[in-house]
Structure 1
Amino acid sequence: MEQTAVEKKFGKYVMASMITMFLQSAYSMIDGLFVSNLIGDTALSAVNVAWPIIAVVTAIGTGVGCGGAVMMSTKQGEGKNEESNIVRANVILALLASSIVVTILFLILLTPLLKLMGAEGELLRLSQIYGRVMLTGGVLQILSCGLTPLLRNDNRAVSAMMIMVGGLFVNLGLDFVFMYVFHMGIGGAAGASLCAQLFTTLCCLIILGTKKTDPIRFSQFIIRKEYWKKIFKTAVSPFGISLTPSLLILYHNVACLKFGGDLAVKAYALISSTVGSYRVLLIGVAEGIQPLASYAYGAHDFHAIRKIRNKAVITAIGVSFFLFIFTIATARFYPAIYGYEGEAAELGYHAVMVTAAQLIFTGLVRVTNSFFYSVGKDKYSLFMIYFDPLIMTPLTIVILPRILGLDGIWITAVVTQFILNIVAFGMFASHERQMKRMEAEKAFAGK
């Protein structure tokens, strides 16, 4: 990647990343559409209840992949391409090691965790079936999520997007075959997702191994402990970005069970399948800037860093407002699309309308998260990522429902994202002052 071309690649990387992230999240959305219409809305709730557990697995893959990708781009910005290739090989080894440990651990803990979240009866049974199948393929989930960032940072953002398009069609086709033709139920939905992830993994490995410049070679698989340490340290931020939505689903499901029972869980499942999926587009904007920002950071190109940051903020805010308006305009159709009827349909529609405003504020938060870990400001990034799911949302979701009832649950994300926007503006102002000092020191050293 030429240093002078970094800014020109902004649109290509961001658009490809947005589509890739949306398609990655579409696996659960497609499963939800099939299970809700072919099995029932309890099955959709089961997918939603089990997903936070499964999402830990995918978040580990995303975290390790993105953590290594940041290191790769930084090395490339420094002009150290061979070291970047060795980093890439170590990322693949780290993904394999992580997948084995995580798969075994979560298969053992699945049922206790589902019960801890309040699942029981038919909801528990369906959640167990879906979760066991998905977790059995934990290696595929971690590899498919972890290899995509490597492609993106190897200047293969469009290839990564096309692979996800192919995986989506595989998932869609096999959902129909497994569930409609062979009547395999919710387990068939999970099996279709795993087959799609197998397709994604194989395609990523083939492209990385056959590319004309800097292909993967066995000689590059040299275990470097210092690389693993840096990869996992940086991985904490993208891991949190990927996992946070699922942690929020967990908190909301528990609150829904407490304040509204199964009907409220179904309403929140509709939010997760619609507003939650749109939110992933904003993560795509944020992750799209990562290769560019990390490369510019490695090259000490402060002008490019500033341009990339400003474009990302403007793009994210623009997309945020578009998604909010789109959600309000289309919300009435969502219950019917997912097979909701009667009271469940009305409550689901109301819940989506109340919580849609969170989209206005989510874009800036997502860009802040990704930008700071991409340019080595891990403390800023970690605060933005973990303050919400570990402190703000748990406190807010305990307080607001006691005041506003179920509306307190739906509005929780609106309140927390608004507060994080204020924090984000303060962090960007602080970082701008730091960059100006670094520019002054660089200019003085050059004299």
Structure 2
Amino acid sequence: MARPRPGQLPTFDRRSALKVLLAGAGLAAVPGLAACGSGGSTGGASSNTVTFGSNGSDAKPKQAYQAVLDAFAKQSGGLTAKVNTQDHQAFQQNINSYLQGTPDDVFTWFAGYRMQFFANKKLLSPIDDVWDKIGANFPQAVKDLSKNPADGHYYFVPIYNYPWGVFYRKSLFQAKGYEVPKTFDDLINLAKKMQGDGLSPFVQGFGGGESWMLLGTFDYLNMRTNGYQFHMDLMHGKESWTDPKVKSAMDSWKRMLPYYQAGASSKKWEDASAALVNKTGGMMVIGMFVGQSFTNQSDYEDLDFFAFPEINSQYGTDAVEAPMDGFLLSKNPKNPDGAKKLLEYLGTAEAENTYLSIDASNLAVNEKADTSKYGTLQQKAVKFVADAKQLSQFGDRDSDPGFIQNVVEPAFAQFVQSPNNSDSLLTQIQSQKSQYFQS
């Protein structure tokens, strides 16, 4: 999920290209596409090879995907999967051009609106026949997120999901006598205490093109202030960004900003999370993937999280952000039969078990997957998701990707740097919304 660099007026060289592409103006020369395209066009020519485009460029996901593909090759009767791993940010940034060029047969992507958007653009192949074979493995909620409501076809095979929360170190809270906050006022009071103790209360990194990290905080603030349905309607272009309800959510965000980690605008989340690992930071609003930063097992076992606290008692903490990742089939795969065999395998409990045995920062969505080896954090996360009354997929997955990436994220990055400009930034977002949503 790559985003424009915050901390300055956004430069739209790549984003402008994406915006043009999303508007259907054809392909543009976007850096990094050659690598993606070549991976799909060369390997896919063989009937014994399926090409697999992956955004899992971090160490654990890369290792986990390779283990899954190796396991597939052993039981596939001669098929092998050739992985084409791209930088995680670049993959997301170039996805539209990638799909209109020569994409890999199967590739990693996301459920919800992000999948539906490309299905509606006719850039994906439906996989109803795959779901005929794997459907019994998944609950109805997962099936619903794997289908495009516009045409009723399945396009997505899931592998895991992961909730977002406020992550912290149990031993730090115990040593300092901190209590898990129940309300937003409690959260701000805790941040004040942490700052007084010389800590960075809110660990945050949204630099290096990662302003997408800011979406998680806004999503929770908006859902806690205005409820899940208002948030989803806002994401779908049905509500106004200048509505006083949105301004109220932004006002709460302003209360958090004095407690943000220094230099957040120049750090990637991986760099920022070091403060959580070494206990110089107190809390981090992030997904379970933060566990990838905890390379020492005892440190990982000390990691915990709590629900983003209540703001409006009418909505409490009912809504939980729990994005789901998985796989799609490109529009014209070079090896369609082999690609569908790979997707069928990816929809098995064996594939999920293999992946999660290496990358434990996620949760299985296959009902037949083995959860007996889940650690304390995973067990808590399972209950956290199961107890939620509503599940969101994350800001840029619940809305038009061009709108979020080109308009909302740059505005949020500017807001964090200059919070007093929030009203004008919301007006700016609203004025550009019509380019992406029909009124």
Normalising by the residue count of structure 2, what TM-score does the alignment of the two structures yield?
A: 0.29
Higher fraction of helix: 1
Higher fraction of strand: 2
Instruction: Answer 1 or 2: higher relative contact order, Cα 8 Å, separation at least 6.
Output: 2
